[in-house]
């Protein structure tokens, strides 16, 4: 006398209250302070960029999935995350169509061609940025501007206010450095410098990061091992570690890109190795490479190493230590 109305499913019959759309929506919330800071410092073009990124990513996901007759997954918010990040890692004054195309590339090629959410090897937003700089190198790198509020700021005296160079570029060109760098700390912390749309304000980024940590969506393992490694390596090389930590995309990269679930190692040990690897690569590129900044390429290179890290950095299972004692 089977009661056909009863549901029979395997245990567990209770599930936690965090699901993937919630998670992704929380990442969007965590990115908002940095977006607001970007718009505050760089004006309306930044807002247009952010909207373009989201339109490009969400639109691409919708269209490609419709065309390939796959279930539409824009409801999981992950394309919105990618869209915001694409805009945030590009200069604020990049033409909107480049941002849209970068978003389309990030979603269409990097994410969906690899099999969709969970299967991509590379961080879509960073791959989108790499695509933009490769395709329109001039455009994508000349979009840097100094915030309007900069003029007359005391700390900036000696800096050409119309230059489009970021602090790291100036360091590379030898325009700054040598003397005390501490006059840059506060502007870099607040975001009052030239840089990518979403990377300049460490303060805004950290507010978002604290939210993600509080929601237990990320742990400190990757960001901390990454940032500490950069600080240590640059200090060993005789440069100002705090300047390196605050400038460029390090805070954005360490908290929001290197921690991307899909493209980072799955266990604790692997995550620390990954963070250290990113840190070493970033420092090497900044100190010796041809580019002033190395966060994006470091993370992309380490993304490729994730399957290997996952394979070799295995957690110590319950009882294992004692078994060898």
* Whole-number Å distance between alpha carbons of 110 and 1: 53
Among 15, 69, 288, 290, binds other proteins (CB under 8 A): 15
Binding mask 209-248 for other proteins (x = CB under 8 A): --------x-x-----------------------------
Q: Are 219 and 271 in contact (CB under 8 A)?
A: yes
Question: According to the binding rule CB under 8 A, does residue 68 interact with other proteins?
Answer: no
Q: Please tell me whether residue 135 adopts helix, strand or coil conformation.
A: helix
Q: For residue 29, what are its two tokens?
A: 């919330």
Binding mask 93-122 for other proteins (x = CB under 8 A): -----------------------xxxx---
Q: Are 274 and 302 in contact (CB under 8 A)?
A: yes
Q: What angle do CA 117, 118, 124 make, to 5 degrees?
A: 65
* Whole-number Å distance between alpha carbons of 57 and 48: 14
Minimum distance, C-beta of residue 74 to other proteins, in the bound complex (Å) = 13
Of 53-61, 89-97, 224-232, 264-272, which part binds other proteins (CB under 8 A)? 264-272
Identity of the residue, 185 or 261, whose beta carbon is nearer to other proteins in the bound complex: 261
Query: Which residue reads 């200090």 in tokens?
Result: 235
Q: Are 277 and 219 in contact (CB under 8 A)?
A: no
* Whole-number Å distance between alpha carbons of 2 and 93: 67
Among 133, 169, 264, 303, binds other proteins (CB under 8 A): 264
Among 158, 238, 290, 316, binds other proteins (CB under 8 A): 316
List of residues contacting other proteins (CB under 8 A): 1-3, 5-16, 18-20, 22-23, 76, 78, 116-119, 217, 219, 261-262, 264-268, 271, 310, 314-323, 325
């Amino acid at each position: 006398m089977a009661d056909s109305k009863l549901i029979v499913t395997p245990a567990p019959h209770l599930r936690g209250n965090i699901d993937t759309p919630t998670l992704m929506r929380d990442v969007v919330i965590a990115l908002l302070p940095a977006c607001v800071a970007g718009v505050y410092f760089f004006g309306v073009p930044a807002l247009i960029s952010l909207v373009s990124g989201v339109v490009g990513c969400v639109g691409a996901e919708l269209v490609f999935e419709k065309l390939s007759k796959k279930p539409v997954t824009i409801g999981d918010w992950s394309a919105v995350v990618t869209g915001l990040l694409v805009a945030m890692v590009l200069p604020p004054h990049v033409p909107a169509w480049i941002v849209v195309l970068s978003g389309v590339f990030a979603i269409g090629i990097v994410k969906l061609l690899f099999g969709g959410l969970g299967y991509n090897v590379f961080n879509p937003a960073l791959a989108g940025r790499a695509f933009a700089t490769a395709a329109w190198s001039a455009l994508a790198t000349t979009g840097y501007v100094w915030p309007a509020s900069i003029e007359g700021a005391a700390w900036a005296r000696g800096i050409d206010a119309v230059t489009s160079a970021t602090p790291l570029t100036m360091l590379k060109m030898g325009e700054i450095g040598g003397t005390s760098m501490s006059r840059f700390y506060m502007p870099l912390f607040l975001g009052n410098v030239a840089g990518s749309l979403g990377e300049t304000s460490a303060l805004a980024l950290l507010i978002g990061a604290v939210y993600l940590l509080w929601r237990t969506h990320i742990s400190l393992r990757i960001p901390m091992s990454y940032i500490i490694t950069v600080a240590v390596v640059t200090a060993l090389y005789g440069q100002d570690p705090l300047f390196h930590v605050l400038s460029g995309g390090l805070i954005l990269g360490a908290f929001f890109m290197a921690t991307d679930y899909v493209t980072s190692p799955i266990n604790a040990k692997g995550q620390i190795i990954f963070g250290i690897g990113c840190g070493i690569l970033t420092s090497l590129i900044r100190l010796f490479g041809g580019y002033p900044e190395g966060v994006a390429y470091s993370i992309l290179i380490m993304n490729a190493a994730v399957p290997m890290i996952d394979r070799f950095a295995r957690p110590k299972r319950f009882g294992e230590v004692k078994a060898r004692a």
